[in-house]
Structure 1
């Protein structure tokens, strides 16, 4: 005879459900990994075995990072991190380097500390605006014999010294005649960026992404995300040629990993391979069918496309010119396209016409023009309701563009770290104060009724949903000023953006995102109530643990 599944009643000082129909609760009943009842502790105690572990804490709907990159998080944070901000990992803190001199000194020290003269030095976090110019000659000055590879803070650029280039056997002939990619390489400077990296990574990745490095990095990533209370993640655009799917299954899919990992098909990889857009949807469906179930899986009928370049590299496509240090138009500085406009339109239209959901990376206002024009053309040719096209990152925009997003029925997933981390420097270099402070118009989005989620894009920002919420609520830069005060949002809207709205953007709102009967029992346990603390202290709230599908994982 089958035994009845056990019911556990989790009690708390307060349960933050993110469900407006259940605004006040102090207990949750869970059976077989799903929520069966939500109410007050005295009402639910008799329905199952009571777990008072978190009776004095706050149980919140499981926090979600809507968009991050496991392979990048696993690899960048296993390097010598020398970045523009502190990075706090489970077992180590990498302090920021704030000046060119400090950066060069840290890199040189890292090189000297390697005992094997043949060992590669990999570093991530460099940014020109903080750390000064970098090229092959500057890296040769650190070592002419040790191979050095520096991954720019955006992960959209690489810098190599001569020893590294020689070790990889790269020649000028390898880099010519490769279409657009060849225009995004400067071999003399040891510099590869955007699509040009396609000509570097096949040779560099086997060293940089060895199985041992990836396994160690993924285990560190699991600990990092759990410490930050994350219960679900999404990699929006899997690149099968580089990503360790078997390791994902083994490590992210482990019973001891307390979060779900989902992935999207990557249309840019299809385009870069020379695939005919007419074949893209069938190929994408084969990818999904090969990995459609389990804790680590592809989401059905959802695809990632790319418009313009990285904001952190200032390679986004802007309507108005970039500015030089004197505030004058810099005619030598321009953005890049990650998918050329004609290619972008062709792939977007075939997926749209097949009724797939589009998630579109876009950072500049000119890039957003391309995206919105394309969606408008798609709607005219094949009208769709509830298409939920996701405007991803959403760095630079105008109020008129936000209005157009609403009219077209798109939704937004924004990186709220952009104005906090970059507005100060981008005011002085590249954008000027008006455009820099207006990055991520979150309040404008919400005022028009557009669903808004937040994401880290790890390692572009910290994969800590409470920190992302803090950024959106406060928009306080390292200098202490508020960038775009009119674009600050409420604590409630920020928490919705890392719970139910994130789930909505994946079409998983019936499974995740709120503490509602019938949904998976995924909770984040907090030491303090985010609605009760000073909003400036949101990111100081301690994560005590998580509950994942009914199982408790206490933070170490």
Structure 2
């Protein structure tokens, strides 16, 4: 049997303890068949040879918590990240420009503003947005996706009064001085607005475009954390497309929250269980929202936010209701993933999972708590004893860590995303970005795990820093484990898929400060090249 492809003259980090490094790798039918001298035996007249010219190779990266279709849809909306719109005036200018392009009455949608990064350190008000687009409803999501700002036309278009009642788990923010609506809406209050949705074809086209961004970042497998009916249709149809190669893991949106319709009842009625699907597309379990975000001051923390009165965030539901849902899901052989950032939310999530099973059965299920930002020592002990995965959004530290410092204060911010403690307790903690909440590039997360530095240059929780090898493991081996994928991806091992990336710099050999600058030169999925950096087009192939 001859190999289809042999990569040679490489610095290969397999992330497999049985053979940590290699210089040569042979691929047959999309899977790895041999390393080094044994790979030579697979060379034949039809074997393609690829000289890697000493560059570093890693397994394809696994993004363990993201919203790919949400990211894709955002490509069609106003880009309000601070790099694009650094001031309130620039946001308003973008809204005015879009209003000139759209017919009156059509929605102006945007995503990515972050008050902690704006020059004015505040959000655009209802008055400002109403003046910028008096005849168009405006709905602009904060980078955390837990808050948005709207204008008066948005209230009118959605049939809401300007004195609305807060829904459960949501809040219409009011100006403290005037008592009038400020334009900021939080959590479930966003569900009150009648935002138009994209068509299936529009979502498919946007996802095909977004896929290339994932490949450019070295991502070959992604966990989609908010799957409803529309997303299910899109991904099933994309799997039939020859040019869609991304491996996708689906977490089904359980309860109607944040403006998204839950599908828990339908899933249970159909008898769907975790693992349904194939190696390219499968169902992981049910996803539940429990609290908000630190940046939006809605995560359910134990002590009030800095300079915010008695505000300790928002819980989406009661202990009793959460327990009922989790017990029912687990009884029906579905894994659960619970969004828990603040201490109060993490505690509720742990209690629900513990009520649903024993330490032994929970270990077999590999339930997850998403983000798990402010886990206490007591939480760590419980996570370990029940084998619960801490799906840690370590990418938050780089992208939005400054807002954590501002809103939590230095003392609390020191213990966010405690990766060294996760390791000490033997807790699997796959890294992630929660994109589009944060930058999707995993090397920003790896950099943050090692240096604990924010985009603003501040540091938080240096005692929780981990070595480069552990940081990369969180985006490969541990991330694969979180999806029951350790037999097929996560490391470069014989028999596993040849999902791999070639890098311009060796992350194990460079200064830690340079990790965030590492670029992917080439991405392969099952031995086929899906991305080559343009300027390197002829670098490897001779």
- The residue number in structure 1 matching 2:168 is 180
Contact 1:271–1:343 (CA under 8 A) maintained in structure 2: no
Contact 1:9–1:50 (CA under 8 A) maintained in structure 2: yes
Q: How does 1:113-124 map to 2 (within 5 A)?
A: 115-116=100-101, 118=103, 120-124=107-111
Residue 65 (structure 2) pairs with residue 67 (structure 1)? yes
- The residue number in structure 2 matching 1:481 is 458
Residue 301 (structure 2) pairs with residue 318 (structure 1)? yes
- Match of 2:62, SS state, is strand
Distance 1:174 1:495 in 2: 49
- The residue number in structure 1 matching 2:10 is 13
Contact 1:26–1:40 (CA under 8 A) maintained in structure 2: no
- Could you list the per-position Cα deviations for residues 237-267 of structure 1 after superposition, in whole angstroms to 9, with x for gaps in the alignment? 3122xx3444434446532234211212222
- The residue number in structure 1 matching 2:485 is 508
Distance 1:212 1:136 in 2: 33
- Could you list the per-position Cα deviations for residues 385-439 of structure 1 after superposition, in whole angstroms to 9, with x for gaps in the alignment? 43312221111122232222212321211111223333433333x3111112321
What's the CA shift for 1:544? Answer: 0.9
Distance 1:163 1:412 in 2: 41
Distance 1:42 1:169 in 2: 63
- The residue number in structure 2 matching 1:91 is none
- The residue number in structure 2 matching 1:389 is 367
- The residue number in structure 1 matching 2:55 is 57
What's the CA shift for 1:109? Answer: 4.5
Residue 437 (structure 2) pairs with residue 460 (structure 1)? yes
What's the CA shift for 1:53? Answer: 4.4
Which stretch has the larger CA shift, 27-36 or 45-54? 45-54
2:195 aligns with one of 186, 192, 204 = 204
- Match of 1:66, SS state, is strand
RMSD (Å), alpha carbons: 3.2
CA gap of 1:309–1:55, structure 2 versus 1, over 3 A, is same
- The residue number in structure 1 matching 2:414 is 437
CA gap of 1:185–1:293, structure 2 versus 1, over 3 A, is farther
What's the CA shift for 1:272? Answer: 9.7
Q: Give the structure with the larger helix fraction.
A: 1
CA gap of 1:121–1:60, structure 2 versus 1, over 3 A, is same
Distance 1:274 1:230 in 2: 28
CA gap of 1:70–1:163, structure 2 versus 1, over 3 A, is same
Contact 1:181–1:199 (CA under 8 A) maintained in structure 2: no
Residue 377 (structure 2) pairs with residue 378 (structure 1)? no
Residue 138 (structure 2) pairs with residue 148 (structure 1)? yes
What's the CA shift for 1:497? Answer: 0.6
- Match of 2:312, SS state, is coil
Contact 2:450–2:512 (CA under 8 A) maintained in structure 1: yes
Contact 1:129–1:425 (CA under 8 A) maintained in structure 2: yes
Query: Which ranges of structure 1 fall in alignment gaps of 5 or more residues?
Result: 87-94
Contact 1:317–1:367 (CA under 8 A) maintained in structure 2: yes
Q: How does 1:297-336 map to 2 (within 5 A)?
A: 297-299=282-284, 302-324=285-307, 330-331=309-310, 333-336=311-314
- Could you list the per-position Cα deviations for residues 464-496 of structure 1 after superposition, in whole angstroms to 9, with x for gaps in the alignment? 222211111111123323211111111000111
Contact 2:25–2:32 (CA under 8 A) maintained in structure 1: yes
Distance 2:207 2:215 in 1: 12
What's the CA shift for 1:216? Answer: 4.5
Distance 2:451 2:465 in 1: 6
- Match of 1:125, SS state, is strand
Aligned residues: 522
Query: Which ranges of structure 2 fall in alignment gaps of 5 or more residues?
Result: 175-179, 535-542
The TM-score, its normalising length taken from structure 1, stands at 0.85
Distance 2:458 2:170 in 1: 41
Distance 1:12 1:366 in 2: 52
Distance 1:383 1:20 in 2: 27
What's the CA shift for 1:211? Answer: 5.2
What's the CA shift for 1:382? Answer: 8.5
CA gap of 1:205–1:44, structure 2 versus 1, over 3 A, is farther
